[in-house]
Amino acid sequence: MKMSRPAQKEMWMALCFLAPSAVGFFTFYVIPFGQSLLYSFRSGLDHGKLTLANYETLIQSASFAKAAANTLRFTAIGVPLLIILSLALALFLNSRVFFRKWLRTAYVMPLVVPVASVVLVWQIFFDWNGALNVLLERAGISRIDWMKSDWAMASIILIYIWKNIGYNVVLFLAALQNIPDQYYEIANLEGAGIFRKFGITLIYLLPGMFLVSLMSILNSFKVFRETYLVAGDYPHDSIYMLQHYINNMFLSLEIEKLSAAATLLALCILLVVFILYRVERSFHSFME
């Protein structure tokens, strides 16, 4: 079917507007990732031969295994906590509460605060001579070296939740306000209780839950910035993440190992996205 001239004009205008972003995306993301993927199959001594030696080295590396285990544990603990807390806050803010608009603004504020400022605040809070230890000492409790003890993982999870909870609350609020009131009115007529109504809310929140879960998982892999600035190049063993491993490989110029680790990390993220997508598609099929 031949397109009309106005439709062709609109299509070309759209392509012109998309072109700068497409060029930037391919230049700074697609091409470097393709080059990194190629490097992951190359040997440092023989660039003409493809090999799996870099992946074999990674699998046998104790540092990589520790970083992968810590990253998995952080995601497995931090993401569910973030989703549960953000959903609870969204339900609270969606109700008729005093200063609701001011509270909504307060939860979004961490999104606009620069990372450097965030790190400075948390450094003051978790430092040996920081505000938290001063409060503990006044309460008669011994000081804790938060970032160099088993409390390091809990501290990073707290920073991660504080930084990302506002974004998730906004997404959940948008999903909650799109649920038709007639469902709750019917439930009231049928004498449904609080738990039954909450079940209705959860069912119609599942599409939004997919987006929130996806963004929470992706943001969990960005916590390296805060961890690196708070704890340094070689943090406590419990918070030594995959991003630390990749960064250390970069500093030692082991580009092939770095590329292999980055490729495995990208594959893991794609696998998680695929699983979430399949769950979301199954839910749509069930609802139809």
Burial code (b: 16+ CB inside 10 Å, e: under 16) for 49-84 equals eeeebbbeebeeeeebebbbebbeebbeebbebbbe
Contact 277, 209 (CB under 8 A): no
Residue type, 170: V
Q: What angle do CA 108, 111, 116 make, to 5 degrees?
A: 140
pLDDT recorded at residue 81: 93
Contact 74, 153 (CB under 8 A): yes
Residues in the chain with pLDDT values less than 50: none
CA 62 to chain centre: 25
SS (H, E, C) the chain: CCCCHHHHHHHHHHHHHHHHHHHHHHHHHHHHHHHHHHHCCECCCCCCCECCHHHHHHHHCHHHHHHHHHHHHHHHHHHHHHHHHHHHHHHHHHCCCCCHHHHHHHHHHHHHCCHHHHHHHHHHHHCCCCHHHHHHHHCCCCCCCHHHCCCHHHHHHHHHHHHHHHHHHHHHHHHHHCCCHHHHHHHHHCCCCHHHHHHHHHHHHHHHHHHHHHHHHHHHCCCHHHHHHHHCCCCCHHHCCHHHHHHHHHHCCCHHHHHHHHHHHHHHHHHHHHHHHHHHHHHHHHHC
Domain 62-287 has CATH 1.10.3720.10: yes
Contact 78, 85 (CB under 8 A): no
Q: What is the pTM of this model?
A: 0.79
In 127-234, alpha helices (H) = 131-138, 152-177, 181-189, 194-220, 224-231
pLDDT recorded at residue 101: 64
pLDDT recorded at residue 46: 58
Residue type, 37: L
pLDDT recorded at residue 248: 82
pLDDT recorded at residue 265: 85
pLDDT recorded at residue 89: 86
- Domain-by-domain residue ranges, the chain? 62-287
pLDDT recorded at residue 107: 65
Report the C-alpha gap between 270 and 214 in whole angstroms. Answer: 11
